[in-house]
């Protein structure tokens, strides 16, 4: 696969994607940082500001204090966001395609399913969907965002994090020819702040906050509210 750039919108993406067989092979294994059981206190410290920004974006009458509100974490990995959201009062459920990651989260006493966003079903209203470092892995991010829009309740909140190719650290890594993202075999998209916010608006979301992530190099975090219903 090689990286190409759209001449019209300047989005950067790979010229090809994994087959279903390739994805199955890819998800057979997980890195240590993708599995539960690490430093939980650090996980709390990392994810608590994210949960707080989600809370700040929610309507005043919709808070998980008297009634638990549904939260789906897509690509939940080590489960740190799930456990922290639960601590804040959400009914959090993780989904991930790596069976070992899901098993470890369940062993920690939290809810998780081996599934993707298109196959998961929920009997309860969903007020928050998070995609931490996930969208750059997908073949068709528009379809993923439209699915999230369909699942969320009115005024539901979407959290997304991913590398920002227009950040100062990204540019510095490029200048030194030491940018690991160009060789990341699981990534299909390199978003910028501008392109990500434009994509979210296109799919019925209004961005309300931007932040710099401390988890990965050159990573950004955006919180948005559902404003339009996708057909």
Q: What does the pLDDT look like over 161-187, one tens digit per residue?
A: 999 999 999 999 999 999 999 999 889
Whether the pLDDT of residue 79 is over 80: the answer is yes
Q: For residue 40, name the pLDDT band (cuts at 50, 70, 90).
A: confident
For 172-230, the pLDDT digits (tens) are: 999 999 999 999 988 999 999 999 999 999 999 999 999 999 888 999 999 999 998 76
pTM of the model: 0.92
**Comparing C-alpha atoms, which of 113, 85, 86 is closest to residue 99?**
113
pLDDT reported for residue 35: 64
Mean pLDDT within 109-135: 92
Q: For residue 45, name the pLDDT band (cuts at 50, 70, 90).
A: very high
d(CA 12, CA 184): 14
pLDDT reported for residue 167: 97
pLDDT reported for residue 62: 75
Place of tokens 């298109």: 118
For 87-121, the pLDDT digits (tens) are: 999 999 999 998 888 999 999 999 999 999 999 88
Q: Hey, is 209 helix, strand or coil?
A: strand
Query: Are the CB atoms for 187 and 215 separated by under 8 Å?
Result: no
d(CA 33, CA 207): 28
**Comparing C-alpha atoms, which of 129, 124, 146 is closest to residue 85?**
129
Question: Hey, what domains does the chain have and what are their CATH numbers?
Answer: 3-226 (3.40.50.150)
d(CA 177, CA 183): 11
* Mean pLDDT across the chain: 90
């Amino acid at each position: 696969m090689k990286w190409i750039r759209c001449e019209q919108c300047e989005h950067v993406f790979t010229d090809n994607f994994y087959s279903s067989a390739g994805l199955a092979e890819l998800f057979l294994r997980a890195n240590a940082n993708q599995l539960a059981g690490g430093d939980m206190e650090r996980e709390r410290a990392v994810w608590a500001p994210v949960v707080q920004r989600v809370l700040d974006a929610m309507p005043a009458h919709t808070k998980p204090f008297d009634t638990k509100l549904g939260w789906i974490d897509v690509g939940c990995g080590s489960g740190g966001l799930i456990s922290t959201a639960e601590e804040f009062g959400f009914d959090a459920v993780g989904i991930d395609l790596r069976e070992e990651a899901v098993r470890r989260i369940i062993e920690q006493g939290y809810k998780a399913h081996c599934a993707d966003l298109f196959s998961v079903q929920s009997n309860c209203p969903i007020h928050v969907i998070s995609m931490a470092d996930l969208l750059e892995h997908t073949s068709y991010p528009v379809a993923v965002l439209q699915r999230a829009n369909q699942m969320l309740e009115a005024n539901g909140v979407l959290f997304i994090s991913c590398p920002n190719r227009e950040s100062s650290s990204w540019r510095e890594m490029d200048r030194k020819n030491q940018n690991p993202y160009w060789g990341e075999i699981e990534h299909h998209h390199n978003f910028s702040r501008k392109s990500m916010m434009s994509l979210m608006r296109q799919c019925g979301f209004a961005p309300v906050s931007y932040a710099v992530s401390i988890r990965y190099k050159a990573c950004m975090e955006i919180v948005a509210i559902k404003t339009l219903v996708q057909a």
